[in-house]
Structure 1
Amino acid sequence: MIAGITPTSQRIPRYPAPLSSPCHGWQLMRWLISTHRYVLPIGMLAGSGWMMSQALFPWVLGQLIDDAIAVVNPAAFIFWLAAFACLAVSEALFGMLRHWMAVRLYADSQRLITETLMSRVLRSNSQITQQFSPGTLMNHLSFDAQRIGVAMDVMLRGSASVVTFIVVAILLLQISVPLGLIILLGLPPVILLMVPLWKPLETRATHEQGRMAHLTTLAADLLGGIRILKGLGAEPIALARYRRQASVVRNAAVDVARLDAGWDAFNVLIPGVLVSIIVAVGSFQVLSGHLSVGELITAFGFAGFLVVPVATFGEVGNKWSRALAAANRLCTTLNTPAKQPAQASDSHLSDLNWLGRQTGLVFADPSLVEPELTRIKANLAHQRPDLSLLSETQAFLFHGQLRDNLQAGQPQPRTDSALTEALWAVAADELAVRPGLDGHIRTRGQSLSGGQRQRVALARCLVANPDILILTEPTSALDAYTESLFISRFFKALHGQTTLIVSHSDTLLQALDQVIFIDHDGNRHLGHHAELTERLREYRRIVSPELSDS
């Protein structure tokens, strides 16, 4: 079950029920509707009042002509002019309230979609980022969330169109039964003719959104590797690839636009035919004496106004078809099964007393690294749940200030001196001066060198101060001098903290309390680095190839 969204003081309090999992498009839309039990009814009432105020203008005009102008009645003239003014004020007030509720509904639906998706992505056992590209997720947060929000917004005008249509039909029946029957019997078939177009539009919109997600992913990859592309001189190839994908997106958009154009033409043509029939029948009834001039003007006004609700019905179908396509795509992502927690099992560290020590791990077979670390973490979670653990496997930095990167995830901000000390401990104290703690870091740390990114990530580990720290190749991007300086400072800053380091660096392994070497046969060898180097040829070949050759 997806957790409900915690209400904040910035909006009307409401407590959404959890969204069931697995979900589908209609389920997601119903869930969004249920979360707006205050905004939606208020918006529907305001929308009905706004559209009814517009619809009644022809009726008031007809009454003014028949009761005041035709018989020259000043009192009636003033009365119906006042009615006009009241309708104008009513339309303005209801229109403002409807727009306010529509914007809230649109923005809040987008926010709920964003929070729901991100809460699932950020779960520790989430596999969404492994199964879906960043472009797909960005497409959910932009295009899909926007289309769902538009569909929620258009519901207000859709419900108002239904109410207005019924009221206008009743008024037309009172004026003329034939005119009322034309509306009651002619409009429902028009709406039913629109329904078969919904499914093709939903299908084409789904295809278009999928192609757009691929294009977004490609653009992100190209921008992220622009320096490499320039270094290889591969810009023309990359540009040609982007143009091919953009052409696919354009063709998918044209398919949707072609159906949209037919839909819009249908929305204009059919109501226009109905209006023409009403005008013809109404004119014949005036000539035959069954309608007054004021009633004819009212009928003409109603006929012209009915184009609006009929077009709104078409717009509701159009927007909801697109929204359902987006909701189905979003649910496909939300339904991604969570990663099953690793079970506690024997690892090469199971019977070793490595807690409170600085231990190195060296693997002859690199494919064993991830399974072994997974077993170690599972065993710690099972046996020592009271200990906090931090595993730093890659130097990922966030867009923003250096200060924010260093204290990311911390409940309380750290002092400048604590952050500067952490940078000093990883031999990155020059970053405290330039760019400085308030300096700007570009996305993924692209404004820093590889070694600087690595050291900032290690400084972040020191700021977090976990009970157990697991590092993977922490000095791989450092030159020999910087690595030596890092080692001389980093382990002093740990103060005997439990540290497990996967590394093949001869210099780093020398500074550790003990080293565990896993050979190709899966056998475990424990000892100090110097001891293992002297005793094991395979270990010596991996960490000190120059000694192995000699």
Structure 2
Amino acid sequence: MPIEGHDVLRRAIAGQWRHVTAGSVLAAGHQAGEALVPVVIGLVIDEAISSGDAGTLVRWIAVLALVFAGLSLSYRFGSRAAERASEQAAHGLRVQLTERVLAPRGGAETGRLPGELVSVATQDARRVGAVAVALTAGISALTGLVVGGVVLLRVSVPLGLLILLGIPPLLLLAHLLGKPLERRSGAEQERAAHASGVAADLVAGLRVLKGIGAEAAAVARYRRTSRESLAATVRAARAQAWHDGGMLTLTGVFIAAVALVGGRLAAQGDVSVGELVTAVGLAQFLLTPLSVLSWANGEFAQGRASATRIASVLAAPPAVIGGTDAPPQPVRGRIRLSGVRHGALRGLTLDAAPGELLGVVTADPAVAASLLRVLGRAADPEAGTAELDGVPLTALDPAEIRRAVVVAEHDADLFEGSLIGNVTAAAAPGAAGPALAAAAADEVAEALPYGTATVLTERGRSLSGGQRQRVALARALATGAPVLVLHDPTTAVDAATEARIAAGIREVRDGKTTIMVTTSPALLAVTDRVMFLDGGSPVEEGTHTGLVHGNEAYRATVLA
């Protein structure tokens, strides 16, 4: 069943029903107390001041003090419960979104920049969580209006009926006023999220942009995106202004009507002095719950728009479907692709024997990317089959596949934390040390102030490009996976270090299947066999030395 925005909103609130209920009851108590204040003051006037009875005055002042104490405590603890519900609901949504984005079957990231997903998980989750506060505030405001109406009904039937019968159409008009705000708020969040995603994308690729001299194009792209976001924000702000102005006008007309009717009744002598004070006080009090209802309506409109965006991520179709089995144990590591068509791959047939170190060479980055997606089951082939130990990958659970087949992409990121923590995050027992040496990451540790305990900044930006590559490679090697797929793991290191890494990979991966998608002569020189692809189709295979001497296109690809 597809997830809709109202489902997200309902579940977020229902999941915090205890706190929402407690907050609503206490907040309602606060508003009821606020409504009783002018009532008690009116009674003080009628029963104590008019008669001059000091004892009665003291008693009613004590009652007034108790009312103030009750409404103060209700507000304090009601607000605490509502805020707790809001924060926990937002946190729950962030956890759901994170689980969906990290789900082995993928799909949530399709068509979305990372910054957009971050915006949904932060800003939109916060707005949906805020609906819990708006709900408790709305219930308390309605309670205040009802209590005020009932009291006025006892003072004067026309005044009470005016309020009680005027609330439903007022709420309906408020809902209609919130519709444009809901639409434009959704567009605002969408454009803001897109701008955030573009900004994060540009910052992440800043070095590359400077290297190719594309700063001007990047600035122009962000300026265009930023202006679109600004225009959406202005439209949302205009809708917010119309909403607030419309609600202010409605509440003003409503209060004016109450005041006019109350004044006429007082002029005719239908109410006493104390009752007149009560009516005037309640008329002034009604401004607060009506303002709260206006604010709550705006929060609901924005919350509904954000819930729709969250639902679009949670309900995103998976990138791969089917497959629940685990690979046969133990995993031998035979990888076979037969006539695979996907993306840039055009009928690729590939066979990596268990324990083989296979090199795959292609001049087209799209071919390499498509091959990695198929091997890691980030996508299923459009045609043909991909197998692990004779079992089609489509029959296997993606999470189980990735325990057996680790795909280390070229642009792998490091995490904030210690260097050794990055390597041991998914390491097999005792594999971290040999992996550090094989990837020449031990030299990186020696150059750092605290060695392997040195804390890295976000994405490892405190390291150079070559240092990051070596630590990322060590992390991949430390997994000890039966099948390891490496994509250009040494493009940012010098020739001497690259030769040492090639020998280290050969040693550490001895007896385990390794596929290196690369054009590095140093890495290809240690492979058992090399397959040369052109346009996603196999052209020739053999040893690296044989292909260098016998295939001009291969020679141009790896030696250029």
Which residue number in structure 2 is paired with residue 397 of structure 1?
413
Q: Cα distance, 1:526 vs. partner?
A: 5.3
2:442 matched residue in structure 1:
429
Which residue does 1:360 correspond to in 2?
359
- Partner SS, residue 453 of structure 2: coil
Using the TM superposition, name which of 100-109 and 441-450 deviates more.
441-450
Q: Please give the per-residue CA displacement for 1:445-498, whole angstroms capped at 9, x wherever unaligned.
A: 333333222211110012222122111222333322111121233322334332
**What SS does the corresponding residue of 2:355 show, helix, strand or coil?**
coil
Q: CA, structure 1 residues 101+80, in 2 after alignment: closer, same or farther (shift >3 Å)? A: same
Worse-superposed segment, 224-233 or 252-261: 224-233
Judged with a 3 Å threshold, the aligned counterparts in structure 2 of structure 1 residues 393 and 271 are, in CA distance, closer, same or farther, namely closer
Identify the range of structure 1 (174-183 vs 494-503) with the bigger mean alpha-carbon deviation: 494-503
Matched, 1:453 2:468: yes
SS of 1:347's equivalent in the other structure is: strand
Contact kept in structure 1, 2:367 and 2:535, CA below 8 Å: no
Residues 280 and 511 (structure 1 numbering): CA distance in 2 closer, same or farther, change over 3 Å?
closer
Q: Deviations over 1:2-55 (max 9, x none)?
A: xxxxxxxxxxxxxxxxxxx42111121112122123112111111111111111
Q: How many Å separate the matches in 2 of 1:536 and 1:284? A: 103
What's the secondary structure of 1:469's corresponding residue?
strand
Q: How does 1:161-310 map to 2 (within 5 A)?
A: 161-229=141-209, 238-239=218-219, 241-310=221-290
Q: What is the one-letter code of the residue matched to 1:197?
A: L
SS of the equivalent of 1:437 reads helix
Counterpart residue identity of residue 404, structure 1 = G
Counterpart-to-counterpart distance in 1, 2:250 and 2:556: 82
Cα distance in 2, alignment partners of residues 359 and 249 from structure 1: 48
Q: Which structure has greater strand proportion?
A: 2
Q: In the alignment, residue 358 of structure 2 is paired with which amino acid?
A: T
Q: TM-score, normalised by structure 2?
A: 0.84
Change (3 A) 1:255 1:381: farther
1:149: Cα distance to partner?
1.6
Alpha-carbon distance in structure 2 between the residues aligned to 1:274 and 1:174: 20
2:484 counterpart SS class: strand
Question: For residues 176 and 425 of structure 1, do their structure 2 counterparts lie closer, same or farther at Cα, with a shift above 3 Å needed?
Answer: same
Cα separation, 2, equivalents of 1:506 and 1:358: 14
SS at match of 2:338: coil
Deviations 1:394-448 (CA, angstroms, capped at 9, x unpaired): 24223412233222345x9x88xx6454322212322212333233434433333
Give the partner amino acid of 1:310: L
Change (3 A) 1:381 1:181: farther
C-alpha distance in structure 2 between counterparts of 1:365 and 1:233, whole Å: 22
Q: Using the alignment, how far apart are the partners of 2:119 and 2:100 within structure 1?
A: 16
Going from structure 1 to structure 2, the CA distance change for 1:347 and 1:298 (only over 3 Å counts) comes to same
Task: Tell me what 1:6 maps to.
Answer: none
Q: Counterpart in 1 of 2:381? A: none
Could you tell me which of 302, 327, 338 is aligned with 1:347? 338
Q: Which moved more, 1:280-289 or 1:427-436?
A: 280-289
Partner-residue secondary structure (3-state), 1:504: coil
| Counterparts of 2:337 and 2:408, CA distance in 1 | 23
Whole-Å Cα distance in 2 between the matches of residues 231 and 533 of structure 1? 30
Unaligned 5+ residue runs, structure 2? 324-334, 340-347, 377-385
Q: Deviations over 1:113-172 (max 9, x none)?
A: 211111111012212223111232122122211211222211001111222222221111
Specify which of 130, 147, 151 is matched with residue 150 of structure 1.
130
The equivalent position to 1:439 in structure 2, one of 431, 454, 461, is 454
Deviations 1:243-288 (A, max 9, x none): 4443333332222222322332333333333333333333333343
How many residue pairs are counted as aligned between the two chains?
A: 521
Between the aligned partners of 1:485 and 1:318, the Cα distance in structure 2 is 63
Task: Decide which of 358, 383, 392 is 2:391's aligned counterpart.
Answer: 383
Amino acid aligned to 2:353: W
Instruction: After superposition, give the CA deviation of every residue in 1:494-549 in whole Å (9 maximum; x if it has no partner).
Output: 3433222223333322222333445679457554434455555554554457xxxx
Cα gap change, 1:503/1:264 in structure 2, threshold over 3 Å: closer, same or farther?
closer
C-alpha contact (below 8 Å) 2:198/2:222 kept by paired residues: yes
Deviations, residues 315-353 of structure 1 (Å, cap 9, x unaligned): 222111111111112222222210125989853898957
1:439 and 1:485, CA in 2 relative to 1: closer, same or farther beyond 3 A?
same
Gapped regions of structure 1 (runs ≥ 5): 1-20, 546-550
Q: Report the AA paired with residue 424 of structure 1.
A: A
Structure 1 SS opposite 2:462? coil
Q: Structure 1 residue aligned with 2:60, among 58, 68, 80?
A: 80
Q: Which moved more, 1:382-391 or 1:279-288?
A: 382-391
Q: Match for residue 490 of structure 1?
A: 505
- Residue 467 of structure 1 is matched in structure 2 by 482
Instruction: Give, as a single letter, the amino acid of the residue that structure 2 aligns with 1:390.
Output: V
Q: CA 1:486–1:210 in structure 2 vs 1: closer, same or farther (change >3 Å)?
A: same
- 2:105 corresponds, among 125, 128, 147, to 125
Change (3 A) 1:59 1:480: same
Q: Does 1:24 align with 2:4?
A: yes
Query: How far off is 1:355 after superposition?
Result: 0.8
Q: Give the counterpart letter for 2:456 in structure 1.
A: I
Note if contact 1:395-1:453 (Cα within 8 Å) is conserved in structure 2: no
Match of 1:506 in 2: 521
Read off the aligned partner of 2:473 and give its amino acid letter. Answer: L
Partner in structure 1 of residue 19 of structure 2: 39
**1:109 aligns to what SS in structure 2?**
helix
Residue 158 of structure 1 aligns to a residue whose secondary structure is helix
Q: Using a 3 Å threshold, how does the CA distance of structure 1 residues 426 and 109 change in structure 2: closer, same or farther?
A: same
Q: Contact 2:414 / 2:459 at 8 angstroms: preserved in 1?
A: yes
2:424 paired with 1:407: yes
TM value normalised by structure 1 = 0.85
| Alpha-carbon offset, residue 230 of structure 1 | 5.2
**SS state of the match for residue 301, structure 1?**
helix
Residues 468 and 392 (structure 1), Cα distance of their counterparts in 2 relative to 1, 3 Å cut? same
3-state DSSP class of the match of 1:284?
helix
The residue type paired with residue 396 of structure 1 is A
Letter in 1 for 2:290: V
Verify the 8 A CA contact 2:367 2:536 in the aligned structure 1. Answer: no
Cα distance in 1 for residues equivalent to 2:54 and 2:413: 78
Percent identical among aligned pairs is 33
Q: Tell me which amino acid in the other structure corresponds to 1:433.
A: E
SS at match of 1:72: coil
